Structure 1
Amino acid sequence: MLRSLIAATLLVAPLAASAQEAPDLTPAQQFLHDRVAYLASDELRGREAGTPDFDRAADYVVSQMESIGLEPGGTQGWFQPVPLITFSPGETSVSFTRGNRKTELESGAEVLGLASAVDEERSVSGKMVFVGFGIDDSEAGIDDYEGLDVEGKVVAMLFGVPKDAPEEVGQRWGGLADKVETAMAHGASAVVIIESGQLRARLPFSVVSQYISRGRTTLDLGAEAAGAEPLAMLSQEAATKLFAGSGIEFADVLEAEMAGKPVPHGALGVTLAAHVTTTMNRFTSKNVIGKLKGSDPELAGQYLVVSAHLDHVGVGSPNDEGDTIYNGAMDNAIGVATVLSMAKRFTEAGEAPRRSILFVALTAEEKGLLGSRYMADHWPVGDGEMLVGDLNFDMPILTFPLTHIVALGEEHSSLGPAVHIAAEEVGMGVIPDPFPEENFFVRSDHYSFVTAGIPAISIDSGPSPDGTGTDAIQHFLKNDYHKPSDEIGLINWESAAKFALLSYTFVRNVANADERPAWNPGNEYGVRYDGYGADREPEGEAETAE
Structure 2
Amino acid sequence: MRPITFAALPLAFALIGAAQPATTLPQSSAAERVRAHVTFLSSDLLEGRDTGSRGHEIAASYVVSQLQALGLKPGGDKGSWYQQVPYRRATLDGVPTLSFTSRGGSVPLTHGADVTVRPNLVTRNMKVNAGLVFVGYGIADPVLGIDDYRGVDAKGKIVVAFSGTPKGLRSDVSAHLGQVKPQTAAARGAVGYVEIPANPLGNWGPLVTSAARPVTNWADGKGGSGQGRAAPLLRMSFSKATAERLFAGARQTLAAAQSEAAAGRQPKGFALTGQLRVDATSKWEDFTSPNVVAVLPGTDPKLSNEYVALMGHLDHIGVRKGAKPGEDAINNGALDNASGVSTMLETARSFVASGQAPKRSLLFLAVTGEEVGLTGADYFATNPTVPLPRIAALVNLDMPLLLYPFRDVIAFGAEHSNIVKAVDAAGRAMQVSTTADPMPEQGLFTRSDHYRFVTRGVPSVFLMTGYANGGEAQWKKFLGGCYHHPCDEVGQGIDWEAAARFGELNYRIARQLADAPERPRWYADSYFGRTFGGSQPKLAR
Q: TM-score, normalised by structure 1?
A: 0.87
Structure 1 residue identity aligned to 2:506: S
Please name the residue that 2:61 is paired with: 59
Please name the residue that 1:205 is paired with: 205
Distance 2:439 2:457 in 1: 25
Deviation for aligned residue 1:204:
4.6
Equivalent position to 1:84, from 87, 102, 120: 87
Distance 2:362 2:420 in 1: 19
Equivalent position to 2:454, from 450, 456, 462: 450
Please name the residue that 1:523 is paired with: 526
Please name the residue that 2:11 is paired with: none
Distance 1:192 1:218 in 2: 18
Please name the residue that 2:38 is paired with: 36
Alignment RMSD: 2.3
Equivalent position to 2:365, from 360, 365, 386: 360
Structure 1 residue identity aligned to 2:346: S
Structure 2 residue identity aligned to 1:372: A
Please name the residue that 1:196 is paired with: 197
Deviates most, 336-345 or 268-277? 268-277
- 2:392 is the counterpart of 1:388: yes
User: Residue 199 and residue 49 in structure 1: after superposition, are their counterparts in 2 closer, same or farther (change >3 A)?
Assistant: farther
User: Residue 293 and residue 522 in structure 1: after superposition, are their counterparts in 2 closer, same or farther (change >3 A)?
Assistant: same
Secondary structure, counterpart of 1:517 in structure 2: coil
Distance 1:414 1:310 in 2: 28
Distance 2:153 2:365 in 1: 47
Equivalent position to 1:106, from 84, 100, 110: 110
User: Residue 537 and residue 428 in structure 1: after superposition, are their counterparts in 2 closer, same or farther (change >3 A)?
Assistant: closer
Please name the residue that 1:374 is paired with: 379
Distance 2:275 2:108 in 1: 12
Say if 2:126 and 2:281, in contact at 8 Å, map to a contact too: yes
Please name the residue that 2:184 is paired with: 182
Say if 1:319 and 1:484, in contact at 8 Å, map to a contact too: no
Please name the residue that 1:468 is paired with: 470
Deviation for aligned residue 1:304:
1.1
Distance 2:354 2:114 in 1: 62
Distance 1:403 1:27 in 2: 21
- 2:500 is the counterpart of 1:497: yes
Please name the residue that 2:215 is paired with: 216
Deviation for aligned residue 1:386:
1.6
Say if 1:135 and 1:179, in contact at 8 Å, map to a contact too: yes
Secondary structure, counterpart of 1:132 in structure 2: coil
User: Residue 485 and residue 199 in structure 1: after superposition, are their counterparts in 2 closer, same or farther (change >3 A)?
Assistant: farther
Secondary structure, counterpart of 1:298 in structure 2: coil
Say if 1:342 and 1:500, in contact at 8 Å, map to a contact too: yes
Please name the residue that 2:356 is paired with: 351
User: Residue 260 and residue 93 in structure 1: after superposition, are their counterparts in 2 closer, same or farther (change >3 A)?
Assistant: farther
Say if 1:518 and 1:532, in contact at 8 Å, map to a contact too: no
Equivalent position to 1:303, from 300, 307, 314: 307
What do residues 463-493 of structure 1 show as CA deviations (whole Å, max 9, x unaligned)?
22xx631111111111111011111123111
Give % identity: 36
Distance 1:42 1:199 in 2: 46
Structure 2 residue identity aligned to 1:186: R
User: Residue 242 and residue 339 in structure 1: after superposition, are their counterparts in 2 closer, same or farther (change >3 A)?
Assistant: same
Deviates most, 56-65 or 123-132? 123-132
Say if 2:522 and 2:539, in contact at 8 Å, map to a contact too: no
- 2:265 is the counterpart of 1:261: yes
User: Residue 399 and residue 45 in structure 1: after superposition, are their counterparts in 2 closer, same or farther (change >3 A)?
Assistant: same
Distance 2:201 2:375 in 1: 28
Structure 2 residue identity aligned to 1:41: S
Please name the residue that 1:250 is paired with: 254
Secondary structure, counterpart of 2:285 in structure 1: strand
Deviation for aligned residue 1:307:
0.5
Unmatched segments (≥5 aa) in structure 1: 1-24, 540-546
Distance 2:411 2:70 in 1: 27
Please name the residue that 1:341 is paired with: 346
User: Residue 204 and residue 184 in structure 1: after superposition, are their counterparts in 2 closer, same or farther (change >3 A)?
Assistant: closer
User: Residue 100 and residue 432 in structure 1: after superposition, are their counterparts in 2 closer, same or farther (change >3 A)?
Assistant: closer
Distance 1:152 1:193 in 2: 14
Q: Which has the higher contact order (CA 8 A, sep 6+)?
A: 2
Distance 2:74 2:539 in 1: 39
Please name the residue that 1:15 is paired with: none
Structure 1 residue identity aligned to 2:223: A
Distance 1:320 1:429 in 2: 47
Equivalent position to 1:116, from 80, 103, 120: 120
Structure 1 residue identity aligned to 2:213: R
Secondary structure, counterpart of 1:174 in structure 2: helix
Say if 1:390 and 1:457, in contact at 8 Å, map to a contact too: yes
Please name the residue that 1:281 is paired with: 285
Say if 1:194 and 1:236, in contact at 8 Å, map to a contact too: no
Structure 1 residue identity aligned to 2:378: R
Deviation for aligned residue 1:245:
2.8
Say if 1:89 and 1:277, in contact at 8 Å, map to a contact too: yes
Structure 2 residue identity aligned to 1:205: G
Deviates most, 493-502 or 272-281? 272-281
Deviation for aligned residue 1:508:
1.0
User: Residue 199 and residue 57 in structure 1: after superposition, are their counterparts in 2 closer, same or farther (change >3 A)?
Assistant: farther
Deviation for aligned residue 1:403:
1.1
Say if 1:303 and 1:385, in contact at 8 Å, map to a contact too: no
Unmatched segments (≥5 aa) in structure 2: 1-26
Secondary structure, counterpart of 1:288 in structure 2: strand
Say if 2:310 and 2:394, in contact at 8 Å, map to a contact too: yes
Structure 1 residue identity aligned to 2:176: R
Equivalent position to 2:240, from 220, 236, 241: 236
Deviation for aligned residue 1:402:
1.2
User: Residue 334 and residue 532 in structure 1: after superposition, are their counterparts in 2 closer, same or farther (change >3 A)?
Assistant: farther
Deviation for aligned residue 1:128:
2.2
Give aligned pairs, total.
506
Say if 1:157 and 1:191, in contact at 8 Å, map to a contact too: no
Deviation for aligned residue 1:319:
8.7
Deviation for aligned residue 1:149:
2.9
Secondary structure, counterpart of 2:67 in structure 1: helix
Structure 2 residue identity aligned to 1:376: A
Deviates most, 286-295 or 237-246? 237-246
What do residues 406-429 of structure 1 show as CA deviations (whole Å, max 9, x unaligned)?
111111111112111011112221
Say if 1:159 and 1:199, in contact at 8 Å, map to a contact too: no
Please name the residue that 2:23 is paired with: none
Deviation for aligned residue 1:395:
0.2
Please name the residue that 1:439 is paired with: 443
